[in-house]
Structure 1
Amino acid sequence: MDFIQGTSREQILLLPESIDDFITEDNPVRFIEAFVDSLPLKKLGFKSLPNTGRPPYRPADLLKLYLYGYTNAIRFSRRLEREANRNLELIWLLKKLKPDFKTIADFRKNNANSLQQVCRQFTLLCKEENLFGSEFVAIDGTKIQAVNSNQKNITERRLKRDLEAVDKKVSDYFRDLDFYDQQETSHHKKVSVKELKEKIKYLEKEKKKLEEQEDQLRSSPDGQISFTDPDSRAMMMGGVTDVGYNCQTVVDDKHHMIVEHEVINNPTDQNQLHAMAHRAKTVLGVKKLDVVADRGYYNGYDIMKCEEDNITVYTAKPETSANKKHGLFHKDLFIYDSKKDTYQCPAGETLIFRSVLNEQGRMTRYYVTSACRQCPLKSKCTRGEQRRLSRWEHDDVMDHMRERVRGKPDIMIKRKCLVEHPYGTMKRWWDQGYFVMKGLRNVRAEFSLSVFSYNFKRAINILGVKRLVQAVS
């Protein structure tokens, strides 16, 4: 049976083959080359490595290396060094340059802010090529692990537990010492007196160390300290507590491409809605924008700011009613009359305005009725003498938003289709569910490279390499 035969490795060629012949016209590395060469790297703040006796590498070459690496799920400097020596695409892209891993790692560390600007430049290019619909976006966050284990993160609760454990051990060892002091012979002892004293001495050092950590913890604004990566924080990831960062993205509806992104160390998504929506609106250059987010972003002040900024918000209200958990009537069953400023309860009685209080900067109005005592539905409504309803002074904004969500019940399902795809691609397909650098500044650069890679692959699938090369030529 005949098979396709390869060429002999010892074959002598009359003319050597060109590396460029192996890189097709639609190879993505051709766009990386053209894109980086079109960037004003000095203006973006890129710094060359210091001269150590020979000329340093051009920032453009090392930037090309990183863009190629993250696009192909290669993030570690040692792996990039190895690929630069054997990968034909990188040999072509770097023109046979072979930087060592230390040079590669230092470039990313020294140009963290500039790498974020590269991602922004590509986002603006996508906008010029009409890849964004600029009408409807979805906001969501995901947690990505930091270079910091749970053992290297302490909280007040954990520190208290560790101190109690040390005190208990010391107490047990002292009790054993007292017991051994009463023994005339020591051949039957499981632990010698000398060993016990050494253990007590070690535990006293540990306790002193924990007390020093307790002093540091008091000065921490969020009540926790991470030792390996000081900027990382403990947060819920997939139902368990781990140490990491909260990564935010804004995804456009047209081609599911990321418009804006950010990395924070706040475990919750609250107070991020307006900030991310406003940044996306600025990047897209539009006067109005529709935004959908999950209930983790539900924040009255943020939604009010969005309304003032001509941003229409769709987000579900979280279930926080204690009455509903106890089988009592929840607030949604009470109908508000904006003209009369009253509520109508399920029994048909009217709750009138009674008082207003300033609760942590929020002006809250309270409504009551005198009909509760004789009401036949009282056992289903309240456990106290009468039911009292509270209303924030800007709750009319929240009411309008809830009506919008009820009018478009499928919009929350659409949100999942928009925002989950980028995270699934990055964290599962590209194995970028953890950072390889430490510090908020550096992980922001890392996430920017991941966002660039995602948008880059989407743009290639939509426009093709040749069209993108023409756009930057």
Structure 2
Amino acid sequence: MRRFVQGADRGQSTLLPECLDDWVADDNPVRVIDAFVAGLDLAELGFGGVEPAGPGRPSYHPAALLRLYIYGYLNRVHSSRRLECEAGRNVEVMWLLARLAPDHKTIADFRKDNGPGIKKVCARFVEVCRKMGLLATASVAIDGSKFKAVNNRDKNFTRGKVERRRTQLEESVARYLAQLDTADRQEPSEALELKKTRIKERLENLTVEMAKLAAIEQQVLASPDQQISFTDPDSRSMATSGRGSGVVGYNVQTAVDTENHLIVAHEVTTSGSDRSQLANIAQQAKAVLQADTLDVVADRGYFKGEEILACEQSGITVTLPKPMTSGAKASGRFGKQDFAYLPDEDVYRCPAGEKLKYYYTNEEDGQKLRNYWTNACKTCPLKSKCTPSPQRRIKRWVHEDVLERAQARLDKNPSAMRTRRETVEHPFGTLKMRMGAMHFLCVTLPKVATEMALCVLGYNLTRVLNIVGMKPLLAAVRA
């Protein structure tokens, strides 16, 4: 006779109490979390409450709360209230905390008050990975991704948004005034009077909205970047890859190891652009890897001469494509790339074979530019394909050779962009899936950075478990 697997009777008593350790398998990740936190000197890392306080109610040791948060971010449980529930019903958490059950306020305050220490814990796990030989290749891919903040888009204002909102309000006022004029020309009635009363109420509300908008505009103009957010004051409106789309949030930069796809370094920024982020995150990655030199691959969004130069001066070799922003090329004329630079003669050779020689140096946007041209343009048969001006002038940055070397590396290794995409975009997808709705729970940059450090720690821990398994990692954290 067929039957289902039968469960135990809930009312059945057991002869001896079961040991909690029997419920946690030897290859359960909570054992790694426990051993990793046990090997940390929390006082040295800057955690508060390591020593018991004076008389009064005893506090929780920070090691217990740190274990709880690492477990939570490893298992997509970020909320302090949900972590409070897990401590009372999850056998793994009961084992990890030795049956401690802190309330959600205590849990939330720990994350809020120990941001610097939590970031150092994330960095300490990267050190463990390096000592295990998982970061032996001094090569990283760098990219940034936008993460949504708690701040709603309706609670973020820029100059453009204020102007658009004012236009909408003015159009609404004009529409209601026109309706009042129409009503005044009609025969009086009770229904008409009710309609006019409603219109006047709406006009009063619009007047209040206009006054609020004027006050918001003053705050926007007083802000350094002419943008304000009310829920999370540090969050900023940022464009995303989708046309016409955007997000109010943060731009997270990561440097990912090209061999094992571990996040070597990361930083949360309030800048929506990646152009000024390359040198900073690359230098952080180089310091973490303790390498004399570092190979970096990034996309065209990071192309900025000063950043590439700073990397080269720090022993960092960058490979990235140059954005195609030439107006001449877009108009069907020769671009700067069609002019060959001859370093021995310090001249440019144009497509017609003429040489553009150097005349003078000027400064634009903080860059020193050398200017080259030739007087043979007037009689050149290719002039219509080159320039509408009397002369075609070429400007060369004094450190242009740095950019040329970066382009040469890309030409030599065209698969570098594919390597970048396969390396750095996978961790972002995993991180966002781990965060559930792809947004932060905390507000202000320091707290968001703490939350991101926990996310990165959870990702790296999962990645190492998948690469080497439980026993080697457990042995490494206990060493």
Residue aligned with 2:369, SS:
strand
Q: Letter of the 2:346 partner, please give it.
A: D
1:176 and 1:290 map into 2 onto residues whose CA distance is 68
1:7 and 1:212 map into 2 onto residues whose CA distance is 66
Aligned to 1:410: 415
Unaligned runs of 5+ in 1: none
2:315 and 2:172 map into 1 onto residues whose CA distance is 62
Q: Letter of the 2:390 partner, please give it.
A: E
* 1:108-146 deviation per Cα after TM superposition (whole angstroms, max 9, x unaligned): 122222211110111111111111024211111111111
Aligned to 1:9: 10
Residue aligned with 1:133, SS:
coil
Q: Letter of the 1:196 partner, please give it.
A: I
Write the mapping of 1:109-120 to structure 2, written as runs, cut at 5 A: 109-120=112-123
Shift of 1:156: 0.7
Sequence identity percentage:
46
2:204 and 2:104 map into 1 onto residues whose CA distance is 44
1:342 and 1:367 map into 2 onto residues whose CA distance is 7
Residue aligned with 1:320, SS:
coil
Q: Letter of the 1:107 partner, please give it.
A: F
Counterpart contact for 2:75–2:434, Cα < 8 Å: no
1:74 and 1:377 map into 2 onto residues whose CA distance is 65
2:12 and 2:395 map into 1 onto residues whose CA distance is 86
2:222 and 2:137 map into 1 onto residues whose CA distance is 44
Shift of 1:188: 5.3
Aligned to 1:38: 39
2:96 is the alignment partner of 1:102: no
Aligned to 1:450: 455
What TM-score do the two structures reach when normalised by structure 2? 0.93
1:184 and 1:353 map into 2 onto residues whose CA distance is 83
2:225 is the alignment partner of 1:219: no
2:436 pairs with one of 423, 427, 431: 431
Shift of 1:167: 2.6
2:345 and 2:241 map into 1 onto residues whose CA distance is 46
Shift of 1:9: 3.3
Counterpart contact for 2:138–2:289, Cα < 8 Å: no
Q: Letter of the 1:298 partner, please give it.
A: F
2:305 pairs with one of 296, 300, 304: 300
What TM-score do the two structures reach when normalised by structure 1? 0.95
Write the mapping of 1:57-136 to structure 2, written as runs, cut at 5 A: 57-136=60-139
Write the mapping of 1:114-193 to structure 2, written as runs, cut at 5 A: 114-178=117-181, 180=183, 185-187=188-190, 189=192, 192-193=195-196
1:329 and 1:14 map into 2 onto residues whose CA distance is 89
2:14 is the alignment partner of 1:22: no
Shift of 1:189: 2.1
Residue aligned with 1:148, SS:
coil
Counterpart contact for 1:166–1:203, Cα < 8 Å: yes
Residue aligned with 2:266, SS:
strand
Residue aligned with 2:407, SS:
helix
Q: Letter of the 2:425 partner, please give it.
A: E
2:324 and 2:169 map into 1 onto residues whose CA distance is 41
Shift of 1:192: 4.2
Residue aligned with 2:296, SS:
strand
Instruction: Provide the aligned C-alpha RMSD in A.
Output: 2.1
1:398 and 1:456 map into 2 onto residues whose CA distance is 37
* 1:299-345 deviation per Cα after TM superposition (whole angstroms, max 9, x unaligned): 10111111111111111101111111111111111101112111111
Counterpart contact for 2:73–2:434, Cα < 8 Å: no
Unaligned runs of 5+ in 2: none
Q: Letter of the 2:138 partner, please give it.
A: E
Counterpart contact for 1:132–1:252, Cα < 8 Å: yes
Q: Letter of the 1:409 partner, please give it.
A: P
Residue aligned with 2:164, SS:
helix
Shift of 1:177: 4.3
1:285 and 1:335 map into 2 onto residues whose CA distance is 39
Q: Letter of the 2:396 partner, please give it.
A: R
Aligned to 1:327: 332
1:282 and 1:26 map into 2 onto residues whose CA distance is 33
* 1:399-430 deviation per Cα after TM superposition (whole angstroms, max 9, x unaligned): 11111111111111111111111112111365
Shift of 1:54: 2.5
2:80 and 2:436 map into 1 onto residues whose CA distance is 16
Residue aligned with 1:384, SS:
coil
1:123 and 1:6 map into 2 onto residues whose CA distance is 44
Residue aligned with 1:249, SS:
strand
Q: Letter of the 1:233 partner, please give it.
A: R
1:5 and 1:151 map into 2 onto residues whose CA distance is 54
* 1:345-366 deviation per Cα after TM superposition (whole angstroms, max 9, x unaligned): 1111111223322112211122
* 1:183-225 deviation per Cα after TM superposition (whole angstroms, max 9, x unaligned): 6624352754443333332222211111111111112122211
1:65 and 1:230 map into 2 onto residues whose CA distance is 29
Aligned to 1:468: 473
Q: Letter of the 2:34 partner, please give it.
A: E
Counterpart contact for 1:25–1:466, Cα < 8 Å: no
2:203 and 2:435 map into 1 onto residues whose CA distance is 49
Residue aligned with 1:189, SS:
helix
Question: How has the CA–CA distance of structure 1 residues 107 and 429 changed in structure 2, closer, same or farther, with 3 Å as cutoff?
Answer: closer
Question: How has the CA–CA distance of structure 1 residues 164 and 8 changed in structure 2, closer, same or farther, with 3 Å as cutoff?
Answer: closer
Task: Tell me which stretches of 4 or more aligned residues in structure 1 moved more than 6 Å.
Answer: 49-52
Q: Letter of the 2:449 partner, please give it.
A: R
Residue aligned with 2:361, SS:
strand
